[in-house]
C-alpha cells in the first residue's frame, strides 16, 4: 500500500516532464511493478481493486472521484446538453452493448448471450480518464460537459443491462435479486423499464434531498472544519445503503455533489471541503490506474493481448461511432445545426475510454458462474474479464494520447468558453 502511494506521487512529475497526461504513465508504472517486476502481486492488485473492504478500492475511488467532480458540474450547460446526454446514456449504451455483443461472439465464438454480457460490461464510458484529460485541453464546455456528463450518468444503464444478462443465465442469483423480483411481479420487459426508473430516479431524488439538507443544516449549526468529514461520511453512507438494496448509488452521489457545488455559499469551509475532495480524488485516480496496470499477469498478456488490441480498435472506431452518431442526431432533431456540427459529433464519437465500472463488472460473470455452478459462465467468464481489462487499458492509453490530436483535427477553433 505504501508503494502504491509513493508511485502515484512519482508519476505526476514524470508526466509533467514529458508533457503528457499522467494516466498512461500510471498504467505503465503499474505494468512494470506488477507483472514484470512483481513488486506488487497481480493477484493482490485484483484483490485490492475488486474485493478490498467488500467492494474494492476501484469502486470506493470511483465514489470519491464522482462526488468531487460533480462539484464542478455546470448545471446550466448540463441543461442545454440534457437531450444529448440522455440519448447517449440510453440509446447509445444499448447500441454499444448490442453491436459489441455481435462482434465479440463473431471473433471469439462465444454464445450471443455471453456476447451481450460482454457488450453490457464495456458499454459505460469513464469519467476518471476524461476529467484530468480535459483539464489540460482547451475545449468548450458544451463539448466537454456532454462527454463528462455522458460518462457520469451512463453507469446505471450499463449495470442494468448486465443485470438483465445475469438474470437470463442465473435468475436466482443474489446479484440480480431486485431485478428478478420486479420482473416476476410485472413480467420481464416492463420489469426492465421499472428497474431502470428505480435505478435512476430513486437515488437521484435522495441525493438532491441530502445535498440541500446538508446546506440547510450547515446554515443552522455551522459545521466549520467538520464539514469535510460529514460530507465524505454522507457520500459513503449513500454508497453503502444503495449498494445494500441493489440500487446503483452513483446518481445519488453525483446529485449530492452537484447540489453542494452549485448551491452552497462558497464560504471558506466549503472551499476547504472542495479542496480536500479534489486532493482525495487525485489520489484515488492515481491508485486506480496503478492497480489496473499491475492487475495483469504475464500469461494473460501473452495469451490475450492481440485479442485485446483487436477488440479495443473495433470498439473505438466502429462500435463507438455507431452508437454516438444516431444518438446525437436523434437528440438534435429539429434543431438548427451549426457550422462544423458533424465534425464535433465525429470528435465525440472518437472519445469514450472505458474504466473502473467495466473492470469491476467484468469479474461478475465468473463469480456468478462459480457460485451457482453455471458452466457457460465458468467457461467464458475469464475471457470476458481479461478482454474487458485489456479494453480498459488500451482505450485509456490510446485515447489519452490521440484525443488532443483529434481535437485539433475536428474542432481546432474551440476555446475555453461556451460555443453556441
- Quick: pLDDT tens for 183-228: 888 888 888 888 888 888 899 999 999 999 999 999 888 888 888 8
As a whole number, mean pLDDT of residues 296-304 equals 87
Rounded distance between C-alpha atoms, residue 127 and residue 352, angstroms = 9
- The least confident of 44-58, 296-310, 373-387 is 44-58
Contact 294, 246 (CB under 8 A): no
Q: Determine the structural domain holding residue 376 and report its residue range.
A: 2-181+280-410
Q: Is 37 exposed, middle or buried (0-12, 13-18, 19+ CB in 10 A)?
A: exposed
Query: Long-range contacts for 372-376 (Cβ within 8 Å, ≥24 apart)?
Result: 372/170, 372/172, 372/173, 374/169, 374/170, 376/111, 376/113, 376/114, 376/169
pLDDT at 166 over 50: yes
pTM of this structure = 0.81
> Does residue 168 belong to any structural domain of this protein?
yes
Structure confidence at residue 350 (pLDDT): 92
Q: For 242-282, write each residue's pLDDT tens digit.
A: 988 888 888 899 899 989 988 888 788 888 888 888 888 88
CA torsion angle 295 299 305 311 (round to 10): -70
Is the pLDDT assigned to residue 75 strictly greater than 80? no
Q: What is the dihedral of CA 283, 285, 290, 293, to 10 degrees?
A: 180
Q: Is residue 215 part of a domain?
A: no
Question: Residue 20: what pLDDT?
Answer: 63
- Assigned domain for 118 exists: yes
- Domain of 338, CATH number, reads 1.20.1530.20
Considering the domain boundaries, does residue 45 fall inside one?
Answer: yes
Q: Is residue 244 part of a domain?
A: no
Four-residue CA torsion sign, 240, 244, 249, 252 = negative
Quick one: 305 exposed, middle or buried, by C-beta within 10 A (0-12, 13-18, 19+)?
Answer: middle
Tell me whether residue 167 is in a domain: yes
pLDDT in tens, 343-390: 899 999 999 888 878 888 888 888 888 888 899 999 999 899 889 988
Q: Binning pLDDT at 50, 70 and 90, where does residue 413 land?
A: low
pLDDT at 142 over 90: no
Residue 121: pLDDT over 90: yes
User: Per the domain annotation, does 248 fall within a domain?
Assistant: no
The reply to whether 216 falls in a domain is no
Task: Give the torsion sign (CA, 163, 154, 58, 43).
Answer: positive
Number of domains forming the structure of the chain = 1
| Length of the chain counted residue by residue | 420
Amino acid at each position: 500500500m505504501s508503494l502504491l502511494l509513493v508511485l502515484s506521487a512519482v508519476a505526476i512529475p514524470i508526466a509533467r516532464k514529458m508533457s503528457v497526461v499522467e494516466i498512461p504513465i500510471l498504467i505503465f508504472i503499474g505494468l512494470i511493478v506488477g507483472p514484470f517486476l512483481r513488486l506488487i502481486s497481480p493477484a493482490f492488485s485484483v484483490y485490492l481493486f475488486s474485493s478490498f473492504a467488500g467492494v474494492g478500492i476501484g469502486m470506493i475511488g470511483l465514489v470519491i472521484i464522482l462526488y468531487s467532480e460533480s462539484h464542478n458540474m455546470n448545471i446550466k450547460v448540463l441543461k442545454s446538453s440534457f437531450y444529448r446526454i440522455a440519448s447517449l446514456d440510453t440509446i447509445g449504451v444499448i447500441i454499444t452493448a448490442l453491436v459489441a455483443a455481435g462482434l465479440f461472439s463473431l471473433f471469439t465464438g462465444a454464445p450471443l448471450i455471453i456476447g451481450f454480457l460482454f457488450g453490457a460490461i464495456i458499454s459505460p464510458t469513464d469519467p476518471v480518464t476524461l476529467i484530468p484529460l480535459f483539464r489540460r485541453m482547451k475545449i468548450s464546455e458544451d463539448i466537454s460537459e456532454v462527454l463528462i456528463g455522458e460518462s457520469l450518468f451512463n453507469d446505471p444503464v450499463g449495470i442494468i443491462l448486465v443485470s438483465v444478462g445475469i438474470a437470463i443465465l442465473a435468475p436466482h442469483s443474489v446479484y440480480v435479486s431486485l431485478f428478478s423480483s420486479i420482473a416476476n411481479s410485472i413480467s420481464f420487459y416492463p420489469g426492465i423499464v421499472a428497474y431502470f426508473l428505480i435505478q435512476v430516479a430513486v437515488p437521484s431524488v435522495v441525493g438532491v434531498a441530502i445535498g440541500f439538507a446538508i446546506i440547510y443544516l450547515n446554515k443552522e449549526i455551522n459545521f466549520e472544519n467538520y464539514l469535510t468529514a460529514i460530507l465524505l461520511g454522507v457520500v459513503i453512507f449513500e454508497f453503502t445503503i444503495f449498494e445494500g438494496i441493489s440500487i446503483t448509488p452513483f446518481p445519488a452521489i453525483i446529485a449530492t455533489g452537484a447540489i453542494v457545488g452549485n448551491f452552497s455559499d462558497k464560504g471558506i469551509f466549503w472551499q476547504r471541503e472542495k479542496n480536500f475532495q479534489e486532493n482525495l480524488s487525485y489520489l484515488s485516480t492515481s491508485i486506480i490506474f496503478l492497480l489496473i496496470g499491475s492487475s495483469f499477469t504475464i500469461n494473460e498478456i501473452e495469451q490475450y493481448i492481440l485479442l485485446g488490441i483487436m477488440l479495443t480498435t473495433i470498439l473505438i472506431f466502429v462500435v463507438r461511432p455507431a452508437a454516438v452518431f444516431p444518438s446525437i442526431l436523434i437528440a438534435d432533431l429539429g434543431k438548427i445545426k451549426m457550422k462544423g456540427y458533424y465534425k464535433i459529433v465525429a470528435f465525440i464519437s472518437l472519445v469514450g475510454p472505458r474504466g473502473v465500472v467495466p473492470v469491476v463488472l467484468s469479474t461478475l460473470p465468473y463469480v456468478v458462474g462459480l457460485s451457482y455452478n453455471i458452466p457457460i459462465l465458468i467457461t467464458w467468464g475469464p475471457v470476458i474479464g481479461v478482454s474487458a481489462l485489456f479494453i480498459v487499458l488500451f482505450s485509456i492509453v490510446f485515447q489519452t494520447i490521440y484525443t488532443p490530436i483529434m481535437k485539433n483535427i475536428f474542432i481546432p477553433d474551440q476555446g475555453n468558453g461556451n460555443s453556441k
